[in-house]
Structure 1
């Protein structure tokens, strides 16, 4: 059993997958969004290839906890995913995960160009690792 997390964005989708023991999250890929059908097909392939049993999607809430425009887009995307993907889907508050990812890359002295290529994948790792840590302690 593995869990997969998504950092859904307007242009890309960062993807991370847990290990089989549900202890750690590893960055898998960044999907360059082209069309909804292709995006979902690529996600279905990753789910099948990695034997994923649950999908976690980062929900970008506003700092006050309300849902903004991007959160509404994420919710619409999840509803469409549910029509094609048979694993359970949950959302996780992803406030500040991209900022955390960016700071990690800055601390590692990664160039701006390389940061741009991996930031969504690292944000997905942060989303998934937070989920794994919270559920391990429960």
Structure 2
């Protein structure tokens, strides 16, 4: 099944995808969009372009596991995306993914503007890989 993930951001939204084998998540693109009205349509178009059969949306929980305003916004976004695309959407805890993405970019010595432009894409890849791993282990 082709699965696409979304790392929702205020200005940049990272997109990652895996192929039908569900083995490895790969970065796909970053959508630069500040309008919360326009963003769902752009993400829906990306889902159509990659022929996604399932969409995983990162759920930004607080470190104690509670859900705040950002998590509520992510859930609402996922529902809007499901309505627009007709594709099942699921939530994936994304705690720590941005930190992990920055650590990865440190090891690859990615700096400056390039780093800012790819960190969301890398975070989306981590979200998707975490989801794929949990499916393999029978947790999803």
TM-score range relative to shorter protein: over 0.9
Name the SS of the counterpart of 1:125 in structure 2. helix
Give the structure-1-normalised TM-score.
Answer: 0.93
Deviations 1:88-111 (A, max 9, x none): 000000000000000000111111
Divergent runs of 4+, >4 A: none
Name the structure 2 match of 1:22: 22
Which runs of structure 2 are paired with 1:50-69 in the superposition (5 Å)? 50-69=50-69
TM-score norm. by structure 2 comes to 0.92
Q: Deviations over 1:40-65 (max 9, x none)?
A: 22222221221110000000101110
Aligned to 2:2: 2
Q: Which consecutive unaligned segments of at least 5 residues does structure 1 have?
A: none
DSSP 3-state at the match of 1:113: helix
Q: CA deviation at 1:37?
A: 4.5
Structure 2: tracts of 5 or more residues without a match: none
SS of the residue corresponding to residue 92 of structure 1 reads strand
Corresponding position of 2:136: 136
Aligned residues between the structures: 138
Q: In terms of mean alpha carbon deviation, does 96-105 or 82-91 score higher?
A: 82-91
Post-superposition CA distance 1:15-73 (Å, at most 9, x none): 00002210001101111114344322222222122111000000010111001221121
Q: Which residue of 1 aligns with 2:89?
A: 89
Contact 2:61 2:93 in 1 (8 A): yes
